[in-house]
Chain A
Amino acid sequence: MAGIVNHKRRGATVKSQRGSDEPAWVRWLLITLGLAFVGIFLVLPLVNVFVQAFQMGLGFYVKSLLEADTVHAIKLTLLITCITVPLNTIFGMAAAWCIAKFDFKGKAFLITLIDLPFAVSPVVAGLMFVVWFGRQGIFGGWLEEHDIKIIFAVPGMVLATTFITFPFVARELIPVMQATGTEQEQAALTLGASGWQTFWHVTLPSSKWGVIYGVILCNARAMGEFGAVSVVSGSIAGSTETIPLRVDKLFHSASMAAGVSAFAVASLLAVLALITLVIKSYLEWRTERDHALAQEATGEVGN
């Protein structure tokens, strides 16, 4: 599913063509409708986060972020992301290598399996791990005997986040690796390079933007994951609370100040979203430009 959402589009230039254009008033009506929808539904909520976050002044905003439990939540979110993203990047590269460069039976099924986290509810994903590692779970008794905590502890949160975010790098890399083909790798191997050398010096440089793109999306999702993590974490303040869980707890406490704090903490994640969007747009602009340059080059050769 992400393959579609993050589809990098070619810069198709559409010139106005007689006979297949709508009357001007229809065009402006549609543009107005589209822009109004984007403005009310996408821009306003984002602006609202910051307006609410600063409604009690900059001092209160900073104080909200420096609260001990919030600082702990930020650290825990970073820790979980630092474990999850590299793991899923390695998985993404391995999966993309065997899927993009080889043909085998069951490939379509494997791709569907990789898509699964996009379709499964995060809550269901979290529950799967509780079924194995929870107190009444399949391993529950054994874990308790050996004093190992997975559910209501960091390991469970890492597992849940890894499940939710593993498709991103793989899904971005597969089309990129497919597009580059296997000729260059085969040439390197013929010239005596080892498998690893070929991967580091040929495959990785030609698909690095795909990797970066996938990592950016994986990172954003890992930091913001809420449903799956809330099932396995138990939301213990100062212990198993990530940034999104902290937002939830502040929002649900009765005091008005806590409500403003919720927006202050949420604004961190909104900034993360904005940074993600900027990098994403930059990478898309780059691919479009490279594509256009490549087309121009082949055009010149053709002439």
Chain B
Amino acid sequence: MFRKSNALPGFKRTLGFTLFYLGLLVILPAGGMIFRVVQLGWGGFWHNATSARALASYELSFGASFFAAAVNAVFGTILAWVLVRYHFPFKRLVDALVDVPFALPTAVAGLTLANMFSPNGWLGQFLEPWGIKAAYSRLGVVIALTFVSLPFMVRTIQPVLEQMERETEEAAATLGAGRLRTFFTVVLPTLMPTVMTGFALSFARALGEYGSVIFISSNMEYKTEITPLVIITYLEQYEYAAAMSIAVVMLFISLAMLAAINLLERWAGRFQS
């Protein structure tokens, strides 16, 4: 690492401290886990990482996170649009409330959502007659993941919508395009990369979530067990090799998601000013 000429002091010291801190807290711990899994050998790793139980949990974790991100892509976009473009009473309060899932500890979110969606809860009682089981089912997992990842969607779209030039929309209208046509041919294409970034952020957040899900899910093997829970269960049974192998899979997926989000952000940035 080389720095450009700059008269300010403290570069070496602060960078040194930063790297030391990150090394101790991130590189060493992650390295140790990867090292242990490498010791297992490819066969051992593959056997543990693709056990039937692990595969079932990947299916649920990826599927539920995808659905949650998709629900957020629709409602999060509507919410961001309404907050940026329209005026209505208590708008500031509503805007602040979008951060509730971010500020509320996940255990509390899981606790209250499980209670609300249980058969005699505030919302569950309306779903019960229709035969919809929300709490303690796969639907419950989707509900919890939608809750925790909503702010990522809204807060990604909001600033982009605010900076969007309205001239192009007006030009389209002047040229005779209806509002619907303007939305689909002018607004949506400009907004799409940002919605995809928000989708990726929501998805990444949902994939790793643990706290809220274990409250609202029935946590049944092969059925409603998310991947982070499988890791914990193996750990509690002293099956370290299995726990670590699955954790390494999750770790590399997180790294891939971070890389994908960086690329998406750069791509979305091209569409703004």
Say if A and B assemble together.
Answer: yes
Closest A residue to B259 by beta carbon equals A112
B2: chain A residues within 8 A (beta carbon): 104-105
The DSSP consensus for interface residues of chain B is helix
Residues 82-111 of chain A: 1 if any B CB is under 8 Å from the residue's CB, otherwise 0? 000000000100110111011111100010
Beta-carbon nearest neighbor of B61 in chain A: A121
Docked complex Cα distance between A230 and B211 (Å): 9
Residues of A within 8 A of B33 (CB): 127-128, 131
Question: Closest Cβ of chain A: how far from B25's Cβ, in Å?
Answer: 5
Interface residues of A in 115-139 (CB under 8 A from B): 115-125, 127-132, 134, 136, 138
Q: Is A291 an interface residue (CB 8 A)?
A: no
B32 contacts A131, C-beta separation under 8 Å: yes
Q: Which residues of A contact B92 (CB under 8 A)?
A: 281
Question: Counting CB contacts under 8 A, is B56 at the interface?
Answer: no
Q: How far is the CB of A28 from chain B (nearest CB, A)?
A: 9
* B273 at the binding interface (Cβ < 8 Å): no
**A13 to B105 Cα, complex, angstroms:** 33
Picked from B9, B169, B211, B244, the residue with its CB within 8 Å of the CB of A127 is: B244
Is there an interface contact between B231 and A31, defined as CB atoms closer than 8 Å?
A: no
- Per-residue 0/1 for B187-210: is the Cβ within 8 Å of any A Cβ (1 yes, 0 no)? 000000000010001001101111
Query: Which of A27, A120, A132, A159: most chain B Cβ within 10 A?
Result: A120
Given A98-B18, A226-B105, A119 and B155 touching (CB < 8 A)? Answer: no
| Chain A interface, >50% SS class | helix
The reply to whether B78 and A132 form a contact with Cβ atoms under 8 Å apart is: no
Interface size on A, residues (CB 8 A): 107
Contact B79 A34 (CB under 8 A): yes
| Segment from A56-64, A207-215, A272-280, A294-302 that makes contact with B | A272-280
A136 to B39 Cα, complex, angstroms: 14
- Contact partner of A119 (CB less than 8 A), chosen from B14, B232, B257, is B257
Whether the pair A91, B159 counts as a contact (CB closer than 8 A) is no
- Contact: A4 with B122, CB < 8 Å? no
Asked whether B122 lies within 8 Å of A119 as measured between CB atoms, the reply is no
* Given known A-B contacts A280-B99, A280-B103, A127 and B235 have beta carbons under 8 A apart: yes
Closest A residue to B164 by beta carbon equals A12
Cβ contacts under 8 Å, A185 to chain B: 8
List residues 265-295 of chain A with CB under 8 A from any CB of chain B: 266, 269-270, 272-274, 276-277, 280-281
Q: Are A127 and B108 closer than 8 Å at their CB atoms? A: no
Chain B nearest CB from A1 CB (Å) reads 6
Q: Which residues of B are found within 8 Å of A263, using beta-carbon distances?
A: 111-112, 115
In the complex the two chains form, is A9's CB within 8 Å of B29's CB?
Answer: no
B interface residue numbers (CB < 8 A to A)? 1-4, 6-11, 13-15, 17-18, 21-22, 25-26, 28-30, 32-33, 36, 75, 78-79, 81-86, 88, 92, 94, 96-109, 111-113, 115-116, 122-123, 146-147, 150-152, 155-156, 158-159, 162-163, 166, 169-170, 173-174, 179, 182, 197, 201, 204-205, 207-211, 214-215, 227-229, 231-232, 235, 238, 240, 243-244, 247, 250-251, 254-255, 257-259, 261-262
Going nearest first, the 9 A-B pairs with the smallest beta carbon separation are A224-B105, A121-B208, A19-B173, A128-B29, A226-B211, A227-B210, A195-B9, A123-B228, A244-B107
20 A-B contacts, Cβ less than 8 Å apart?
A: A1-B205, A4-B201, A22-B179, A35-B88, A42-B101, A94-B17, A94-B18, A99-B18, A118-B204, A121-B210, A127-B33, A128-B30, A131-B244, A198-B8, A224-B105, A227-B106, A244-B107, A247-B107, A274-B103, A277-B103
Which A residues are closer than 8 A to B by beta carbons?
Answer: 1, 4-7, 9-10, 12, 14, 17-23, 26-27, 30-31, 33-35, 37-38, 40-46, 48-49, 52, 91, 94-95, 97-99, 101-106, 110, 112-125, 127-132, 134, 136, 138, 159, 162-163, 166, 182, 185-186, 189, 195, 198-199, 220, 223-227, 230-231, 244-245, 247-248, 251, 262-263, 266, 269-270, 272-274, 276-277, 280-281
